């Protein structure tokens, strides 16, 4: 990712990394947060969100992103099964400079399965340093 807001461009695609749906993590998540969910159905929606959030947090650790303003338009397309490798990507959809020191970046985030099918998507609005 570029070093500042001014080096980001609309249409830019950023790889967020990959994560597999782990059987032990799924079982622990279901016990703690989704009692009654059958793990044979794959990861519940909340766990899929948590997997995306972990990928995004790790990928953005060195970005000039200073604040997350919102996560909107959440969409779950399927529940990934145990062992499924999920790849994250972010596509910059819009930008708005706000003064001399910061700007807003609107981005589409997707989690894709091994076949390239959509598993989860959302839109984010974040403040980036200029």
Residues of the chain with pLDDT > 90, as a percent, come to 95
| Phi and psi angles of residue 43, each rounded to the nearest 5 degrees, phi first | -75, 130
Q: Which residues pair with 121 in a beta bridge?
A: 75, 110
Average the pLDDT over 75-99 and give the result.
97
Q: What is the mean pLDDT of residues 5-17?
A: 95
Q: Are strands 118-129 and 102-112 parallel, antiparallel or unpaired?
A: antiparallel
Domains of the chain (ranges; CATH) run 5-129 (3.10.129.10)
Residue 3, pLDDT score: 78
Angstrom distances, CA of residue 86 to CA of 8, 53, 94, 100: 25, 12, 25, 37
Please tell me the predicted confidence (pLDDT) of residue 44: 98
Reply yes or no on whether the pLDDT at 27 is more than 80: yes
Cα–Cα distance between 59 and 42 in angstroms, integer? 25
Distance CA 39, CA 57 (A): 25
Cα–Cα distances (Å) from 59 to 4, 52, 83, 100, in that order, read: 15, 11, 22, 26
pLDDT digits (tens, 9 = 90+) for 40-70: 999 999 999 999 999 999 999 989 999 999 9
């Amino acid at each position: 990712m570029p070093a500042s807001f001014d080096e980001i461009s609309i249409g830019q695609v950023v790889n967020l990394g990959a994560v597999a749906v782990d059987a032990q993590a799924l079982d622990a998540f279901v016990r703690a947060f989704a009692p009654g969910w059958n793990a044979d159905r794959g990861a519940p929606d909340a766990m899929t969100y948590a997997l995306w959030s972990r990928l995004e947090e790790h990928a953005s650790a060195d970005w000039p992103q200073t604040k997350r303003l919102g996560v909107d338009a959440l969409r779950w397309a399927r529940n990934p099964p145990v062992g499924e490798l999920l790849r994250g990507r972010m596509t910059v959809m819009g930008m708005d400079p706000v003064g001399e020191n910061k700007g807003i970046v609107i981005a589409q985030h997707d989690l894709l399965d091994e076949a390239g099918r959509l598993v989860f998507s959302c839109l984010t609005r974040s403040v980036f340093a200029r």
